[in-house]
């Protein structure tokens, strides 16, 4: 399990032990259904979209950690990571092999789409990943934008092809509300008091 956890590349180590289901705008029955991981076994995708600070990354990381605890292989990426990977492997024409290596994971997470401008390599990397995973592996994605608006981030043709494959077998959860981080900061709960 430790090897699978390290290989996943999780950003912070958040798990369901710290998750507060009642604080999420995602309905409790949906949260419970996602935790069963049946959607991963059926090779379905998950898209969690909504404003910053509403628990998207936390939920995906907790689901990934939960998957590792249940024997799944998980891989964690940002959109920028995909762009770097594409550039690195384009030089020696091994992009297809690199994507195939990623898809050894049962669940591939791509976090934080929509925060930064999408470079052409990152957009192509996302398309290649989604296309290669289609009906073979599960992808979980977090975004500030609903996938229907991805053409604001990348060329329309590429966005349409990506979203078409991504959403065909996907559960879409939209988060709402204020940023939990900002609320905690304003309440003085973001730091320990100075002594």
pLDDT at 186: 67
Helix (H, G, I), strand (E, B) or coil at 108: strand
Give the whole-angstrom CA distance, residue 13 versus residue 116: 23
Range of the domain at 15: 2-185
Residue 11 falls within a domain, yes or no?
Answer: yes
pTM over 0.85: yes
Q: Give how many domains the chain has, as a whole number.
A: 1
Task: Give the CATH number of the domain where residue 8 resides.
Answer: 3.40.50.300
Please report whether residue 96 resides in a domain.
Answer: yes
Q: Is residue 135 part of a domain?
A: yes
Angle at 51 between CA 74 and CA 123, to 5 degrees: 55
* 192 within some domain: no
Residue 190 within any structural domain of the chain:
no
CB 175 within 8 A of CB 146: no
Which value, in Å, is the radius of gyration of the alpha carbons in the chain? 17
d(CA 58, CA 12): 9
Domain for residue 118, yes or no?
A: yes
66 assigned to some structural domain: yes
Q: Is residue 64 part of a domain?
A: yes
152: how many CB neighbours lie within 10 A of its CB?
Answer: 11
The DSSP bridge partners found for residue 46 are 140, 171
Q: What is the pLDDT along the chain (195 residues), one digit of tens a residue?
A: 999 999 999 999 999 999 999 999 999 999 999 999 999 999 999 999 999 989 999 999 999 999 999 999 999 999 999 999 999 999 899 999 999 999 999 999 999 898 888 999 999 999 999 999 999 999 999 999 999 999 999 999 999 999 999 999 999 999 998 777 666 666 677 667 777
């Amino acid at each position: 399990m430790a090897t699978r956890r390290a290989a996943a590349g999780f950003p912070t180590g958040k798990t369901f032990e710290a998750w507060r289901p009642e604080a999420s705008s995602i309905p409790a029955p949906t949260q419970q259904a996602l935790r069963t991981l049946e959607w991963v076994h059926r090779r379905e995708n998950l898209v969690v979209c909504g404003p910053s600070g509403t628990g998207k990354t936390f939920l995906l990381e907790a689901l990934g950690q939960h998957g590792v605890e249940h024997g799944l292989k998980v891989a964690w990426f940002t959109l920028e990571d995909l762009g770097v990977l594409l550039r690195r492997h384009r030089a020696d024409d091994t992009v297809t092999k690199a994507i195939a290596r990623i898809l050894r994971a049962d669940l591939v997470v791509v976090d934080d789409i929509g925060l930064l401008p999408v470079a052409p390599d990152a957009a192509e990397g996302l398309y290649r990943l989604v296309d290669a995973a289609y009906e073979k592996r599960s992808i979980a994605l977090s975004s500030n934008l609903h996938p229907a608006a991805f053409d604001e981030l990348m060329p329309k043709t590429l966005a349409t092809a990506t979203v078409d494959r991504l959403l065909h077998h996907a559960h879409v959860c939209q988060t709402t509300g204020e940023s939990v981080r900002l609320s905690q900061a304003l309440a003085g709960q973001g730091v320990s008091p100075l002594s």
